[in-house]
Amino acid sequence: MNKDELKKRAAEKAVEYIESGMVVGLGTGSTTKFAIEKIGDLINRGKLKNITAIPTSIASEKLARELNIPLTDFFRETKIDITIDGADEVDRNLNLIKGGGGALLREKIVAQATEREIIIVDETKISVQLGEKWAVPIEVIKFAAGLESEYLKSIGGKPVLREVNGKPFVTDEGNYILDTNFGILKNPELLAEMLNERAGIVEHGLFIGLAAKVIVAKPDGIVELE
């Protein structure tokens, strides 16, 4: 079974928790794409009714529109029942590193408004401690990118400005991302607090205590962590 098949299995398991009448958060990334496609299929076949969704990125919004998933926003809804999203790394306490797709700011806004955040991953994303496999994406305003890079170095990080085709990657909200390797994070909560205090840092990819459930797809079956 290849990785895409594992991702699809995890995504479709997560969608089973969605019920008619819910407000649903649509995550971003290659794994979540399968969930959005399944939600669209169920809506179009009449299996899910009165669903409205809030996407976490322009890409997810575009896919949802193509699949005729009704969309809403935070002017009309301030509470999301279930969000299905992916993660780049998950530790034993279900803390996450997210932001590999560049949508961490909207993803965290949606996660904080969600009653039940369901994360879908394949088994390669599971670690004992965060930082074993992934740097921390840190979204900064363009004006402060150089300053915050120096700050991140001063607290033990190795920041790298994310680029695409030789140019800085720009998020949906018009910011830059500094992918910052801190090594294994012995205290991700403390690091998150330090990053939260910096005005030039818009958001970071440490999602602490936000995941209610993690669905892990393995070749021999699905494992659900809570």
Are 92 and 142 members of one domain? Answer: no
Average pLDDT score over residue span 77-93: 97
| Domain at 145, CATH number | 3.30.70.260
Are 111 and 140 members of one domain? Answer: no
Are 24 and 79 members of one domain? Answer: yes
Residue 188: predicted pLDDT: 97
81, 212 contact by CB (below 8 A):
no
User: 164-179, pLDDT tens digit by residue?
Assistant: 999 999 999 999 999 9
Domain count, the chain: 2
Are 11 and 89 members of one domain? Answer: yes
Residue 55: predicted pLDDT: 98
Are 30 and 86 members of one domain? Answer: yes
Task: Say how many residues make up the chain.
Answer: 226
**Cβ–Cβ contacts within 10 Å for residue 81, how many?**
17
184, 108 contact by CB (below 8 A):
no
Average pLDDT score over residue span 69-97: 97
**Cβ–Cβ contacts within 10 Å for residue 172, how many?**
15
Q: What angle do CA 36, 85, 140 make, to 5 degrees?
A: 120
Query: Which residues belong to the active site?
Result: 107
User: 33-47, pLDDT tens digit by residue?
Assistant: 999 999 999 999 999
Residue 1: predicted pLDDT: 67
Three-state DSSP state, 204? strand
Residue 3: predicted pLDDT: 80
Are 19 and 53 members of one domain? Answer: yes
Average pLDDT score over residue span 128-135: 97
Average pLDDT score over residue span 136-146: 98
Instruction: Please determine, for residue 128, whether its predicted confidence score (pLDDT) is greater than 80.
Output: yes
Average pLDDT score over residue span 53-64: 97
User: 80, 62, 72: which is closest to 22 by C-alpha?
Assistant: 80
Are 53 and 81 members of one domain? Answer: yes
| Pairwise CA distance, residues 182 & 132, whole Å | 10
217, 121 contact by CB (below 8 A):
yes
| Domain at 55, CATH number | 3.40.50.1360
Are 114 and 140 members of one domain? Answer: no
Query: Which residues span the domain enclosing 148?
Result: 136-199
| Pairwise CA distance, residues 120 & 194, whole Å | 28
Average pLDDT score over residue span 9-21: 96
User: 69, 93, 200, 87: which is closest to 136 by C-alpha?
Assistant: 87
**pTM for this one?**
0.95
- Cα of first residue to Cα of last residue in the chain, in angstroms, is 25
Are 87 and 151 members of one domain? Answer: no
Are 40 and 13 members of one domain? Answer: yes
Are 100 and 186 members of one domain? Answer: no
